[in-house]
Amino acid sequence: MQHFKHALEELKAQDRLRRLPDLPQQGRYIVSDGLKLLNLSSNDYLGLAHDKALRHEFLNSEACRNLPWSSSSSRLLTGGFPIYQELEALLAARYQREAALLFNSGYHANVGILPALADKKTLILADKWVHASLIDGIRLSGADYLRYRHNDYAQLERLLEQRAADYRCVIIVTESLFSMDGDTADLPHLVRLKKRYGHVLLYVDEAHAVGAYGETGLGLAEMQDCVADIDILTGTFGKALASVGAFAVCSGLIKEYLTNHMRTLIFSTALPPVNMAWTHFVFRQLPGMKARRERLAGISRRLREAVAAHHPSPMPAAANSHIIPCVLGSNGAAVKQAQAWQKQGYYCLPIRPPTVPPGSARVRLSLTADISDDELDGFIQTLGIVDN
């Protein structure tokens, strides 16, 4: 078993060894080595995960008191508690789509949907930067696939022209908000491309956008006014929704097909009903959280402008969200910058290959709506003094 040890030593030598940290949290602060650090790496975009009033309201609700903490089974066997269908009905109604389907996590969704839908007569065309879970789903599907350059729709258009006719079905796969560059897809453009064909489906992962964008918090497809034209729109509950699990909205046909073919849905114990009730409780309130979304947008704009002013090259020009990358290049530089910020009281992390392309190691900042102006000002002050 020496090869395990050698492989780990090699990762360490490359500054790429991963560890599981022990990180107690106090609201939007993380406690690390006795220091309190402002969490600038959270996916709790609306600040709901630490909202005690919201939690207490739920804890006192009928649903919370009466629902079990385990489903004890897959939904297809005995785990089919009514709360699942209630949440699916709420999602379908909000997105104004025929159907919604719940999954245990975004990972389960992405690793299960493509293998269920795709076969040897399917071509998958995926953005080069889609999430690891989508890549795993593509690989597991066994379908032919090509990855187009990030957000390069001219290349995607050529691939469709050259290859689509050879397949029974083509699936375009993208995220709406990309988690490493903080930039976004042009969903209406993708809709126009797919509509030229009768057999092309569009699959959009809104993991980082659900809750945070759109008039009622449904995501970027709502903001870009094209929810109805996305064949499979997925989102997670573990990020802005402060819960756990994931969903897709789609046609009734696709839902029924997935229910019969999707292995990560069929062969896994459903999430606890009490968690579903919490998701339902939070999701129901999303339209009323506009002030939090506006706050997030406002502080994100301020931080992006400050980072761009202090580090003219390191931020990808297209970054336009609450995820703000400072690209530093080498692994060592990213690690050093993150450590420097941690010393100043800000919890942010280096992101290294293979999560991002070689030579583009970065510190990834992500904001949450409950960060105060003073806290943001304090961090912006460090942009000038912490340098490589």
Ligand X SMILES: *Cc1c(COP(=O)(O)O)cnc(C)c1O
Q: Is 298 exposed, middle or buried (0-12, 13-18, 19+ CB in 10 A)?
A: middle
Q: Is 175 a catalytic residue?
A: yes
Q: Which of 39, 41, 42, 43 is catalytic?
A: 43
| Cβ pair 335, 350 in contact under 8 A | yes
Q: Which is closer to ligand X, CB of 43 or CB of 331?
A: 43
Shortest Cβ 196–ligand X spacing (Å): 26
Give SS3 for 100. Answer: strand
- For residue 258, count CB atoms less than 10 angstroms from its CB and return exposed for 0-12, middle for 13-18, buried for 19 or more: buried
The closest residue (CB) to ligand X is: 106
Using only C-alpha atoms, the chain has a radius of gyration, in whole angstroms, of 21
Residue corresponding to tokens 């970054």:
319
Told to judge if 131 belongs to the known catalytic residues of this protein, a careful annotator would answer yes
**Rounded alpha-carbon distances, angstroms, from residue 210 to 139, 143, 147, 286, 320:** 26, 28, 25, 10, 16
| Range 164-174 burial, b when 16+ CB lie within 10 A, else e | beebebbbbbb
Residue 267 near residue 71 (C-beta atoms within 8 A)? no
DSSP class of 41: B
Q: Is 239 a catalytic residue?
A: yes
Closest approach of ligand X to the CB of residue 239, in Å: 6
From 133, 176, 179, 243, the catalytic residue = 179
Q: Which residue out of 44, 88, 183, 205 is catalytically annotated? A: 205
- Which member of 175, 181, 183, 206 is catalytic? 175
Q: Which is nearer to ligand X, 179 or 321 (CB)?
A: 179
Q: In angstroms, what is the minimal distance from the CB of 39 to ligand X?
A: 16
If the CB atoms of residues 150 and 336 are measured against ligand X, the closer one turns out to be: 150
Determine whether 205 is an active site residue. Answer: yes
328: helix, coil or strand?
strand
Least separation in angstroms between CB 75 and ligand X: 17
Q: What is the DSSP letter of 104?
A: S
Report in angstroms how near the CB of residue 339 gets to ligand X at its nearest. Answer: 25
Q: Which residues bind ligand X (CB under 6 A)?
A: 105-107, 110, 131, 133, 175, 179, 205, 207-208, 236, 238, 246
Q: Give me the least distance between CB of 206 and ligand X, in Å please.
A: 8
Q: Which of 50, 108, 131, 194 is catalytic?
A: 131
Residue nearer to ligand X on the CB measure, 108 or 295: 108
Instruction: Indicate which residue of 108, 150, 194, 239 is catalytic.
Output: 239
CA atoms lying within 13 Å on the CB side of residue 197 = 23
Active-site residue 166, yes or no?
Answer: no
Give the Cα-Cα-Cα angle 129, 175, 131 (nearest 5 degrees). 45
Looking at the Cβ atoms of 219 and 273, the one nearer to ligand X is 219
**Residue number, 160 or 235, with CB nearest to ligand X:** 235
Shortest Cβ distance from residue 109 to ligand X (Å)? 7
Q: Indicate the residue among 235 and 336 with the shorter CB distance to ligand X.
A: 235
Do 364 and 347 form a contact (C-beta atoms < 8 A)?
no
Residue 280: closest CA among 100, 90, 65, 104: 90
Distance (Å, rounded) from C-alpha 82 to C-alpha 61?
A: 17
Sign (positive or negative) of CA dihedral 325, 330, 335, 340: negative
Task: Write out the catalytic residue numbers.
Answer: 43, 131, 175, 179, 205, 208, 239
